Amino acid sequence: MCALGLPTGAAAWGSEGHQIVAAIARHYLTPKVHNKVDRMLAADPDTLTAHDMLSEANWADRYRNSGHGQTGNWHFVDIELDHPDLKAACFNMPASGPLASQGPARDCIVSKIREFTRELADPATTAAERLLALKFLLHFVGDLHQPLHAADNHDKGGNCVPLNLGGPRQVNLHGYWDTVVVRELGDNAQSVAAALVGRITPGDKADWEKGGPPSWAAESYSIALTTAYTIGSKPGCVPDRAPISLPPGYDAAAREAAAVQLEKAGVRLAALLNYALDP
């Protein structure tokens, strides 16, 4: 994703957002799964990230950018605003190979979360593949909750929509949702996660643990439709498009929507890991 003047992260939520999701999830892990996740990550021979849960939540981006571009489509599902068809956005839901980590390249985040969850839950999966499944899941559950990773207006998920944030600050719409709204929540992932956990009620947790990747994608799409894309941008990618100024109230609405999505992602990631690793 490209920003104009204001740096953004390499994928949904940027590194800070993914760390927040992992920290929230860590709060809700059972003691058994907490220890199992730590042991699995401590044995990781990869050098792309440190081997704690928050660092490994950004591994999938580093992996994609280090010569594994075939995994790029796995980070999103571009459900078009003018033709919302999940199956079509997911390349017609292709069958995976014997190992989820080996493709196919034309697959989407909804299918990959399902595939990696099955592998992580299956004790017959090799240790190496289970570790890959864990690391992809630490990232992909967060990705799916960024609204512009589940919606598209023929504009590369908002990457073609420049915004004017005042003065020389410009960023595209996708980058705004990746990092700008997250930074407005605070500059320390652990502190932001603790504050967000403090807002989550038992009822919230129970409700959010229902459903699965298709319904999570539908939620993110709905937020993109009702919040992210309410700036009056036109479909498509047009060269030298004039930056759009945010309408009154947009920033506050986006910030609250992003906070709730981070909360949901953390709760759901924990539920998924508890299911797969503590049957």
- At 168 the pLDDT is 65
- Domain total in the chain: 1
Cα gap 263→63, rounded to integer Å: 25
CATH number for 107: 1.10.575.10
- For residues 224-231, give the mean pLDDT: 98
* Residues 23-42: tens digit of each pLDDT: 999 999 999 999 999 999 99
Q: 269 CB contacts (<8 Å, ≥6 apart)?
A: 21, 22, 24, 25, 137, 138, 141, 142
pLDDT, tens digit (0-9, with 9 covering 90-100), for 193-209:
999 999 999 999 999 99
Q: Which residues contact 230 (CB under 8 A, 6 or more apart)?
A: 247, 250
- Domain membership of residue 7 (yes or no) is no
Per-residue confidence (pLDDT) for residue 240, from 0 to 100: 87
Q: 88 or 95: whose pLDDT is higher?
A: 88
Query: Which residue type sits at 27?
Result: H
Instruction: Give every CB contact of residue 24 below 8 A, 6+ residues apart in sequence.
Output: 193, 196, 197, 262, 263, 265, 266, 267, 269, 270
- pLDDT-derived band at 96 (thresholds 50, 70, 90) equals confident
Residue 9 placed within a domain: no
Task: Inform me whether the pLDDT recorded for 9 exceeds 50.
Answer: no
Residue 5 predicted with pLDDT over 80: no
Residue 152 pLDDT > 60 = yes
Higher pLDDT, 3 or 190: 190
Q: Which residue has the higher pLDDT, 211 or 166?
A: 211
Residue 136 lies in a domain: yes
- Angle of CA points 232, 88, 60, to nearest 5°: 80
Q: How far apart are CA 20 and CA 138, in angstroms?
A: 11
> Is there a domain that residue 173 lies in?
yes
**Element holding 228 (H helix, E strand):** none
The share of the chain scoring above pLDDT 70, in percent, equals 95
- Asked if pLDDT for residue 8 goes beyond 50, the answer is no
> Range of 248's domain?
14-277
Distances (CA, A) of 257 to 31, 76, 101: 30, 18, 31
Fill in the DSSP letter of residue 77. -
- With a cut of 50, say whether residue 257 has pLDDT above it: yes
For the full predicted model, state whether its pTM sits above 0.85: yes
Question: Which ranges of the chain does DSSP label H, i.e. alpha helix?
Answer: 14-28, 31-42, 53-56, 59-64, 86-89, 109-121, 127-144, 173-175, 181-183, 189-197, 202-208, 213-223, 250-277
- 4 in any annotated domain: no
Give residue 57's pLDDT band: very low, low, confident or very high (50, 70, 90).
very high
Determine the pLDDT at residue 157: 96
- State the average pLDDT over residues 171-185: 95
Q: What angle do CA 114, 69, 57 make, to 5 degrees?
A: 55
Percent of the chain with pLDDT strictly greater than 90: 90
pLDDT of residue 169: 67
φ, ψ of residue 5 in degrees (nearest 5): 95, -30
DSSP 8-state assignment for residue 25: H
**Is residue 13 very low, low, confident or very high in pLDDT (cuts 50, 70, 90)?**
confident
Q: What is the mean pLDDT of residues 93-107?
A: 93
Distance from C-alpha of 88 to C-alpha of 215, rounded to nearest angstrom: 16
- From 26, 92, 32, select the one nearest 279 (Cα to Cα): 32
Q: Residue 146: its pLDDT value, please? A: 98
